């Protein structure tokens, strides 16, 4: 699921230019049959000025849980179950960890995830918020942001967490790897692999310096997505279309 329906796919070829929000999505559209010369990649923007927070990664004392946030609507491609199961494995090792999940969506998928939580006895460690307002103060209070998607087009929630100075853990899918520069600005694990996700969580929990470094690198990476850069990229696309029409 790359966010393009069959109807849209049929309609897209009539346009002079199709703008994808990542290079990974542009490649997916090309694989779906769209001509490469009609495709352009222009990233979503994120103004770090609205997310300014001091980049401070707290070393969690034993009496305080290591807090993880995840923001994504419940859809099959978001793969909440893998993250929940991984948190369960980490919790079973005696680690004081909490996960807070924000997002509405498919009620059946959410019910299945809630059942996993109940079956693993994780009711006190995992919270489902549904739809709620997420602000900078709330997001910045977490030790880690995680997004376990099996498919995505960009990862705006990941970028916003990076802009807040929160280290990120993502699944190893092309748009996310593009966003975190293949591990330079974030940590990743094998998509859909519970053990890999759990190992990544443990590695991050145990290494305060590494998390702090990821937070700094993520914040710097967020600067690459300032609105001015997106505006310039869009203007370049429009200029190229104007040249083609003359």
> What Cα–Cα distance (Å) separates residue 162 from each residue in 52, 120, 170, 232?
10, 30, 12, 22
CB 180, CB 168: distance < 8 Å: yes
pLDDT at 2: 45
The whole-angstrom separation of Cα 3 and Cα 73 is: 13
CB 145, CB 213: distance < 8 Å: no
The whole-angstrom separation of Cα 132 and Cα 103 is: 8
What is residue 32's DSSP assignment? Answer: T
pLDDT at 4: 56
pLDDT at 135: 86
The whole-angstrom separation of Cα 146 and Cα 68 is: 7
CB 69, CB 102: distance < 8 Å: yes
The whole-angstrom separation of Cα 173 and Cα 101 is: 20
DSSP per position, 103-160: --B-HHHHHHHHHHHHHTT-TTTEEEEES----HHHHHT-SEEEE--SS-S--HHHHH
Q: Checking phi first, is residue 80 left (phi over 0); if not, alpha (psi -120 to 50) or beta?
A: alpha
The whole-angstrom separation of Cα 16 and Cα 36 is: 11
Pick from 227, 91, 82: nearest CA to 169: 82
Tokens of 88: 């369960």
Cross-strand pairs, 130: 102
Q: pTM to 2 decimals?
A: 0.89
The whole-angstrom separation of Cα 18 and Cα 41 is: 8
CB 27, CB 2: distance < 8 Å: no
The whole-angstrom separation of Cα 145 and Cα 139 is: 8
Each residue's pLDDT expressed in tens, for the chain with a length of 246 residues:
445 565 466 666 678 899 999 999 999 989 888 889 999 999 999 887 777 655 455 555 456 899 999 999 999 999 999 999 999 999 999 999 999 999 999 999 999 999 999 999 999 999 999 888 888 889 999 999 999 999 999 999 999 999 999 999 999 999 999 999 999 999 999 999 999 999 999 999 999 999 999 999 999 999 999 999 999 999 999 999 999 887
Q: How many residues does the chain have?
A: 246
CB 152, CB 175: distance < 8 Å: yes
Cross-strand pairs, 101: 70, 128
């Amino acid at each position: 699921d790359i966010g393009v329906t069959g109807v849209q796919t049929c309609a897209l070829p009539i346009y002079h230019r199709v703008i994808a929000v990542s290079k990974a999505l542009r490649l997916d559209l090309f694989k779906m049959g769209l001509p490469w010369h009609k495709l352009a990649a222009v990233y979503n923007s994120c103004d770090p000025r609205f997310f300014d927070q001091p980049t401070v990664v707290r070393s969690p004392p034993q009496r305080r849980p290591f807090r993880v946030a995840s923001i994504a609507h419940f859809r099959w491609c978001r793969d909440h179950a893998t993250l929940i199961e991984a948190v369960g494995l980490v919790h079973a090792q005696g680690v004081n960890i909490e996960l807070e999940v924000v997002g509405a969506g498919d009620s059946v998928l959410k019910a299945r995830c809630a059942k996993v939580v109940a079956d693993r006895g994780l009711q006190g460690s995992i919270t489902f918020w549904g739809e709620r307002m997420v602000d900078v103060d709330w997001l910045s209070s977490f030790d880690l942001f995680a997004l376990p998607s099996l498919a995505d087009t960009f990862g705006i929630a990941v970028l916003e967490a990076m802009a807040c100075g929160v280290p990120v853990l993502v699944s190893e899918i092309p748009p996310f790897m593009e966003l975190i520069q293949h591990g330079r600005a974030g940590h990743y694990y094998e998509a859909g692999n519970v053990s890999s996700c759990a190992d990544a969580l443990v590695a991050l929990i145990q290494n305060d310096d590494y998390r702090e470094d990821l937070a700094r690198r993520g914040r710097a990476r967020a600067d690459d997505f300032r609105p001015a850069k997106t505006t310039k990229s869009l203007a370049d696309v429009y200029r190229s279309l104007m040249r083609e029409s003359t």
